[in-house]
Structure 1
Amino acid sequence: MSQRKIVELQTLGNRDNCQHSPIKKRLKKNRNCKKNSITGKGESRPNCRLATACRVAEDQGLSTRMSESKIISVLRKPMTHVSAEADSLKYKLIYPVCGFILEIALKPIVHREFGTVVWDAALGLCQYFEEQKMDFSQKKVIELGAGTGILSILTVLLGGDVTITDNPQLLQQIQLNVSANIPSSMKSRVKIRALSWGLDQTQFPSDYDYILGGDIVYNYSSLPLILETLQHLCNESTVIYFASTMSISRELITSGYRTLFQYFDSDLVCRYENADVNLYRMTKKKSQAQG
């Protein structure tokens, strides 16, 4: 592993040639954009790293196809075994999406998996933005729990003025990925800041056009903190896009969204069956906005 760089090719396709993307075909074939279901019924979620792992490339630039069992054996190794040095990024994920080629490097973080994986929900939002031909020009956006930063990076490239937030220990990784993917002419539209839900959201304004989050509704204890944070960051015109991989914990996530739906008008705008990902669009209820 010390001599190997894992390169994950997530062929999401682009706007001009997306019909040739096998991942695009997989998602589109099983796509179900209903508005009246919270969870729907989907297949069991595959290992989130295995689900999108397609190829292993050697440091010398030579690539070798691997069997599924070999991919599992490589990707299940602890992240701390991948990197020989604490500050090195030993594998890089490649994502063609919306006409851009995003290179997302992952840094092992001891005892934490959050932020060391590109989660299916973030990829689902990227896919949705591509399908909807989203344009964030002159829009103010904030992402909660950005992890690797892939969703925020795409949003910047699509014109947004984006604040990327997560725990302090993940900010260096986000900064490296921003530096690798965002041209210098666009970097004035990027802010990278630590945000602890329910604690320091008041240090941020309440004038965002969009709030994004992928796989952040994942436990009961964080839900009141997310709600408190959203209530501060939102105004009456803010649009929230949240996505969740339901099979992480279907009952918990469903319960979490039901709580959020008490405060926000919501639609299930898209569902990717194979990945078991639901995408929700939410806006603050009028009674909450007036309060």
Structure 2
Amino acid sequence: MSYQKPENLIFVPLSWTLPQAEYGGYTSCSGRGRGLTDQNLVEGTSLVLTDRHVCLRSKSTRMSAIDDKKPWWQEKTFEFSGHTLKMAMFKESSLGVSAYVWEPGVELCQYFHNEKVNFAGKKILELGSGTGIVGILAVLLGGDVTLTDRPRVLKQIEYNVAANIPSHSRHRAKVGTLVWGDDQFNYSTDFEVILGSDIVYSPIHFPALVKTLLHFCSVNTVIYLSSNLNARMGAENFHKEVLPKLFNCELVHSNKGNCIYKVTKECTDNAD
């Protein structure tokens, strides 16, 4: 079956999300599509579904950029070390817990702020980046940062990188897939700093996480892990029992259950 494009109709592939399509500011519609709901079309705009596309029909042929109403996603603003971060969270895009800025991430950013950390010249790896808030701040603090997560989360990270890092610094931010226990061999092992915020949340993932940390950590590597020991299953055991058997672990900050550990490699023959 073929479709004839009516006047003032913009076709958006169903595989797109709104940040990719860059159409938006929405309030009402006549149908539903991926990422599009009754609450997110502009006044005077209707939505038509085909088997291949979401079609946005407007009074004019020009659609506004996503700036105003975003009920299907949320943006939060943070201030650290003189930088304003506007973090987008794609809450209706099947990202689950990855579509949130969690307290341990904010706590780690605040720690870098309080300690006046300067990452200039440092090669940094972030595990489980989620929204990318920690890795993005590390770039703004001078680091050469690789932000990683599962494939479905990468578009959210890329969006936030583009929104928060000036173009002249964006070459220091790389985004890639890293599934713990599987993909670590696709990356070099010369990272000087490894970051992880709220990545210790389920014992089922601990073996793969430990395997990944051991792969990347040398005697010259510093790992910063920020976890909520009260709210995450097994987090206290991981930091107090599991990790100290393999690494030197130092609690450098604690606030309302959110704990930041500075982790380095054991310099013994039993470190593996």
Q: TM over 0.5: same fold?
A: yes
Task: After TM superposition, give the deviation of residue 287 of structure 1 in Å.
Answer: 1.9
Q: Does 1:266 align with 2:240?
A: no
TM-score between both structures, scaled by the size of structure 2: 0.72
Aligned length: 212
RMSD of equivalent CA atoms:
2.6
Tell me how far apart the structure 1 counterparts of residues 150 and 198 of structure 2 sit (CA, whole Å).
Answer: 15
Q: Does 1:255 align with 2:261?
A: no
Greater Cα radius of gyration, structure 1 or 2: 2
Task: After TM superposition, give the deviation of residue 279 of structure 1 in Å.
Answer: 0.5
3-state SS of paired residue (1:115): helix
TM-score between both structures, scaled by the size of structure 1: 0.68
Select which of 83, 100, 122 maps to 1:117: 100
Tell me how far apart the structure 2 counterparts of residues 145 and 152 of structure 1 sit (CA, whole Å).
Answer: 10
Unaligned runs of 5+ in 1: 1-58, 60-78
Tell me how far apart the structure 1 counterparts of residues 207 and 93 of structure 2 sit (CA, whole Å).
Answer: 27
- Counterpart in 2 of 1:279? 260
3-state SS of paired residue (2:230): helix
- Counterpart in 2 of 1:129? 112
1:76-118 CA distance string (max 9 Å, x none):
xxx9979748997632111111101111111124554221110
Residue identity matched to 1:279: I
Residue identity matched to 1:256: F
Label 1:111 to 1:177 Cα distance change in 2 as closer, same or farther (>3 A): closer
3-state SS of paired residue (1:227): helix
Tell me how far apart the structure 2 counterparts of residues 80 and 255 of structure 1 sit (CA, whole Å).
Answer: 42
Residue identity matched to 1:242: L
Cα contact 2:105–2:134 (8 A) shared by 1: yes
Q: Does 1:221 align with 2:204?
A: yes
Of structures 1 and 2, the one with the larger relative CO (CA 8 A, separation 6+) is 1
Percent identity, please.
Answer: 36
3-state SS of paired residue (1:148): coil
Tell me how far apart the structure 2 counterparts of residues 81 and 255 of structure 1 sit (CA, whole Å).
Answer: 42
TM alignment of 1:127-206, pairs within 5 A: 127-206=110-189
Tell me how far apart the structure 2 counterparts of residues 83 and 227 of structure 1 sit (CA, whole Å).
Answer: 43
- Counterpart in 2 of 1:98? 81
Cα contact 2:118–2:141 (8 A) shared by 1: yes
Relative to total residues, which structure has the larger helix share, 1 or 2?
1
Cα contact 1:266–1:280 (8 A) shared by 2: yes
Tell me how far apart the structure 2 counterparts of residues 288 and 231 of structure 1 sit (CA, whole Å).
Answer: 14
